[in-house]
Amino acid sequence: MNDESQIDQLRYRRILRFFAGVIAGIVWWDLTLSRVPVARQRALAGRPQRLRAIARDFRGLAIEMGGVMIKLGQFLSSRVDVLPVEVTQELQGLQDEVPPANNAQVFALLREQLGDLEQRFARIEPQPLAAASLGQVYRARLRTAEGVAPQQVVIKVQRPGIEHLVRTDLAALRVVARWVMRYKPIRKRANVPALLEEFAHTLWQELDYVAEADNAEHFADIHADNARIYIPRVYRQHSTARVVVLEDVEALKIADTAALAAAGIDSKAVADLLLEAYFKQIFVAEFFHADPHPGNLFVRPGAPIADGAGGLARPFQLIFVDFGMAVRLPKAMGENLRKVLVGVTQRDSRQLVEAYRDLGFFLPEADVERIIEANETILDHIYGRNLLDLTQPDPAEIEAIGREFRDLLFDFPFQLPQDFIYLGRALGMISGLVSRLDPHINPWRQIERYGQQLLRSQSFQQFRDIRLGGLVELLRPYLETPARVQRLLEEAEKGRLRVQLKSDRDAVRQQERLEKRIGQLAWSVIGAAGILSATLVYLERRREERSRD
């Protein structure tokens, strides 16, 4: 066995040892001691600390080993919708803690791919601009003819040997996935090996820089008619399967709200434009940027213009970068998300649950009628609330819902659809960014506004065909009455206005679990409905513009 094979075996075994230890700890503390009356409280009380310690150990392992481990940690850190906060908080640092690869090795690979670098570039900065899990980015200037202004670019180069590391890491993770499937509750609710293969498929796509260049040009085509969204130019003549050269688009980071305010940019307008961009990608192009973390989105200020009220407004462009992780949606998913919008707009829990079922969120034996009842209660509680309210639910309401639907809480007949992991991740990240840019945004008002636009439109006959005949009458009370007042009136009519004062240990545990599950459902409702609604507005605007022309 040569040295390289020995290193591979050591890496493979180390990954297996780590996850074997994690699984053994969970089996001991959460599955064994939690059933022993004397030890139960201790096991429950120490669970947050254990989860944080596991996440911290994984973060250390990922930083040391790099490759897939960092990518996996970054992926998990964004799944605030399904993972405990102790885990996601510990892993968030992996977005910024990736150590750079050896410069000499990177430049050797760059010369191997492009030949004489001096013939192509007037200058390449010696230190990387950014280090990612799979590649490294350098700022450079292209060599141009005399009298032509130098073109500022960024060069993205794969980490040397990364393909070899990816194969080794994925082989180990496939073993771990089979271990996890031995636990029946997980086996019932998720096909972990299939989810891993979807993760692996997207990972290999990220390593194909020809595909990344294709993605960038595709996104440029998608947003070609919107001057407020900018996609960097790709320099194909300087790109290969392992190197891609793009226009340098240095600008303000989207999450830096202080810098946006200092530049005179309204962060609420940035949030609206971000939603509009994703609405079009998902529902018009059915092809979306699947890695919208703050490091991949920028805002470029324009020249101030008169706002018509004696002041100045600051236009801006929303800029996307890093197009390695892009996902094409299955056709059926878009149709079912449209059904979600109709269900939310009509407050039709049955249609909403049917759409979730068709998306694959329920186990085959799920009691759909009972889920419809729970969904109706949840929708009544969340409808009309802004993002700040939705992220800070009333514990008394959560406890009351938990008591009313105790059977669903314990049975939990839900599963994670395979095709939803990247869309769910992207929607979760977008929701986080939007709430940071505008914490008081009211998604329901947007849904209602887009619903009105849909009703006025004459170009969406297909939507009228799916139970939209009486939508005007159904929407009128919600469009004319403030949403929160309407919700309270309905609660009073149904006799549901009550205050829950007592709780016990089981109820507290149920409350915590149900709060996360209610949050998952609420964000699915808001995300899907809001996305399609804004898409309809966008299409209607384009139709009106074409008719004027």
List, for residues 147-163, the tens digit of each pLDDT value. 677 799 999 999 999 99
278 has a pLDDT exceeding 80: yes
pLDDT at 387: 60
Distance of CA 52 to the CA centre of its chain: 22
Within 8 A by CB and 6+ apart from 389, the residues are none
**Contact (CB, 8 A) for 437 and 521:** no
Distance, in Å, from the CA atom of 137 to the CA atom of 245, rounded to the nearest integer, reads 9
pLDDT at 549: 54
Predicted confidence (pLDDT) per residue in 371-428, tens digit:
999 888 887 877 766 666 666 667 777 778 778 888 886 777 888 777 788 888 898 8
> pLDDT band for position 3 (50/70/90)?
low
pLDDT at 317: 97
Give the residue-averaged pLDDT of 331-351. 77
Two tokens, residue 464 = 């009228």
Three-state secondary-structure class, residue 477 = helix
The per-residue DSSP string of 177-214 comes to HHHHTTSHHHHHH--HHHHHHHHHHHHHHHT-HHHHHH
415: left (phi over 0), alpha (psi -120 to 50) or beta: beta
Q: Are strands 312-313 and 243-247 parallel, antiparallel or unpaired?
A: unpaired
Distance, in Å, from the CA atom of 248 to the CA atom of 515, rounded to the nearest integer, reads 43
Predicted confidence (pLDDT) per residue in 507-549, tens digit:
445 545 545 544 444 444 444 444 444 444 444 444 445 555 5
pTM: 0.77
What do you get for the CA distance between the two ends of the chain, in Å?
71
Closest Cα partner for 234 from 335, 306, 153? 153
273 has a pLDDT exceeding 60: yes
Within 8 A by CB and 6+ apart from 146, the residues are none
6 has a pLDDT exceeding 70: yes
42 has a pLDDT exceeding 80: yes
Of 110-119, 208-217, 540-549, the range with the lowest mean pLDDT is: 540-549
